[in-house]
Homo-oligomer: A and B are copies of this chain.
Amino acid sequence: MKEVKVALLGCGTVGTQVARLLGEQAEEFAARSGAKLSLVGIAVRDASAPRDPAIDTALLTEDAESLVDDADIVIELIGGIEPARAHILRAFAAGASVVTGNKALLAAHGPELYEAAAEADVDLYYEAAVAGAIPVVYGLRESLAGDRITQVLGIVNGTTNYILDEMTVAGLSFDEALAQAQELGYAEADPTADVDGLDAAAKCAILASLAFHTRVALDDVHVHGIREIAAEDIKAAAASGHVIKLLANARRREGGIELSVGPTLIPVDHPLATVHGSFNAVVIEAEAADRLMFYGRGAGGAPTASAVLSDVVAAAAHKVSGGHAPRELIYGALPILPPAETIARFQLELAVEDKIGVLTEVSGVFAKHGVSISAVAQNYVRSDKRGETCRLTVTTHEALRRDLEATLAELEASSFVAEVVHVIRVEEN
């Protein structure tokens, strides 16, 4: 049986699980890939640092370059841009295939890496970079290769889903839910990348590139985080049969692709509504397949290691029997729509004067800007900094964001609207 030399770069939570499983299930990997997978070294910054007992310390090295040069498959779990990028390009140049879980690197330098892999005729696999154990990269790049994808809509950040779920289920405030997530290790001390939607945006860019065969950069994604979501927004959503989720949305429309990450209202019987805790899920809409959903653990050492190892088995099988992973063909090259040109349904909560005729005035502003209203509810009157006001919840039909912004500007400047309390995108079932 052919031996395939595997080099592991990085030995954190995921790397430790990868090394453990490679040892424990060696026979199964051999049967599945047709090759004996030999872990030949683990590159770390400090080889003398304490390690999990699952790690054979004799494999540790601080010389990543030499390790890469000697490998058939390189598993990159360092994260960040450099030196991860340099190591991957070095691996390709030496004829090695690469398995990575590095979403930041792919979102920033994906096309360069895809091309380098194709040129060297080796594999680049990255299932672990998006939604952990969930095989959504496969779903987009292989399973739906016989179809045309129209939308990818997903919960791709477990931290924010945990926070919103705790706000919904346990009635916590954002700050309380965040503190709890930090205590449990679901959120980092600096939660910016998660709660401001940046982590989800990187994954959105990778998913959109795959779904639409188009180069998408992180900056192309219109991002909005969840810091402004209040407990009362969650309650109001529940009252209308909705939940609020932070969704990554990539949709093909006439004229191009729209890309956004932001809090979104979805009906309680939407398949994404029952995704609780730190689980992730991605809905894919395709012309022939209709709706598919993939659900599972979006993070964690063992689940992410499972995704890494399935990629390693596929790459090893190619080393034995030929063939290669599907190439990232950028043949679609669809234009990316600026946020103002995107279309969505919105729900607005307006604090208005409690007087006869205000509804006519409000609806007149929407009509003037071509934004069609699907429903209006007068929620409650309450006292706040603006005195007694009445709350109007206005839900629109699909509207251009540009028209919505113009509507909002005029409402905010008007005498009869005290405040636009919030605006949130609405996704239908």
User: Is residue A146 contacting chain B, with contact meaning CB distance below 8 A?
Assistant: yes
Q: Which residue in B33, B133, B329 is a CB contact (below 8 Å) of A289?
A: B133
Pairwise interchain contact B296-A292, C-beta atoms closer than 8 A:
yes
Which residues of the other chain, B, contact A32 by a CB distance below 8 angstroms?
145, 326, 329
Mask for A112-127, Cβ within 8 A of B = 1, else 0? 0000000000000001
Q: Which residue in B127, B300, B305, B321 is a CB contact (below 8 Å) of A143?
A: B127
User: Is residue A25 contacting chain B, with contact meaning CB distance below 8 A?
Assistant: yes
User: Is residue A142 contacting chain B, with contact meaning CB distance below 8 A?
Assistant: yes
Q: Chain A: interface residue count, which band?
A: 35 or more
| Cβ-closest chain B residue relative to A269 | B274
User: Is residue A324 contacting chain B, with contact meaning CB distance below 8 A?
Assistant: yes
Q: Which residue in B276, B294, B321, B323 is a CB contact (below 8 Å) of A293?
A: B294
Pairwise interchain contact A310-B25, C-beta atoms closer than 8 A:
no
A329 to B27, CA, bound (A): 12
User: Is residue A402 contacting chain B, with contact meaning CB distance below 8 A?
Assistant: no
| Cβ-closest chain B residue relative to A293 | B295
Which residues of the other chain, B, contact A25 by a CB distance below 8 angstroms?
148
Most buried by B among A286, A312, A318: A286
A303 to B292, CA, bound (A): 10
Pairwise interchain contact A288-B17, C-beta atoms closer than 8 A:
yes
Pairwise interchain contact A310-B144, C-beta atoms closer than 8 A:
yes
A131 to chain B, nearest CB (A): 10
Pairwise interchain contact A142-B310, C-beta atoms closer than 8 A:
yes
Within 8 A of B (CB), among A283-323: 286-297, 300, 302-303, 305-314, 317-318, 321-323
User: Is residue A339 contacting chain B, with contact meaning CB distance below 8 A?
Assistant: no
Which residues of the other chain, B, contact A288 by a CB distance below 8 angstroms?
17, 21, 133, 302-303, 305-306, 309
* Given A135-B138, A143-B138: A306 touches B289 (CB 8 Å cut-off): yes
Pairwise interchain contact A306-B146, C-beta atoms closer than 8 A:
yes
* Given A138-B138, A289-B296: A323 touches B326 (CB 8 Å cut-off): no
Q: How many copies does the complex hold?
A: 2
A27 to B271, CA, bound (A): 33
Pairwise interchain contact A321-B324, C-beta atoms closer than 8 A:
yes
User: Is residue A356 contacting chain B, with contact meaning CB distance below 8 A?
Assistant: no
A407 to B300, CA, bound (A): 43
User: Is residue A52 contacting chain B, with contact meaning CB distance below 8 A?
Assistant: no
Within 8 A of B (CB), among A1-59: 17, 21, 25, 28-29, 31-33
Which residues of the other chain, B, contact A111 by a CB distance below 8 angstroms?
none
Mask for A88-128, Cβ within 8 A of B = 1, else 0? 00000000000000000000000000000000000000010
Mask for A227-268, Cβ within 8 A of B = 1, else 0? 000000000000000000000000000000000000000000
Pairwise interchain contact A309-B143, C-beta atoms closer than 8 A:
no
A293 to B308, CA, bound (A): 18
A261 to B21, CA, bound (A): 32
Which residues of the other chain, B, contact A352 by a CB distance below 8 angstroms?
none
A295 to B275, CA, bound (A): 13
User: Is residue A134 contacting chain B, with contact meaning CB distance below 8 A?
Assistant: yes
A144 to B17, CA, bound (A): 15
Pairwise interchain contact B271-A306, C-beta atoms closer than 8 A:
no
A314 to B142, CA, bound (A): 7
Pairwise interchain contact B271-A295, C-beta atoms closer than 8 A:
yes
A134 to chain B, nearest CB (A): 6
Pairwise interchain contact A311-B146, C-beta atoms closer than 8 A:
yes
Q: Lowest 5 A-B CB distances belong to which pairs?
A: A323-B323, A146-B309, A322-B322, A289-B306, A135-B143
Q: Give 20 A-B contacts (CB < 8 Å), ordered by A residue.
A: A21-B146, A133-B289, A133-B290, A135-B143, A138-B143, A142-B313, A143-B310, A146-B305, A146-B306, A271-B274, A289-B296, A289-B307, A290-B296, A290-B302, A290-B303, A292-B295, A293-B294, A293-B295, A295-B295, A322-B322
Known: A29-B146, A133-B290, A291-B297. 6 other contacts (CB 8 A): A135-B135, A143-B310, A147-B306, A271-B274, A292-B295, A317-B326
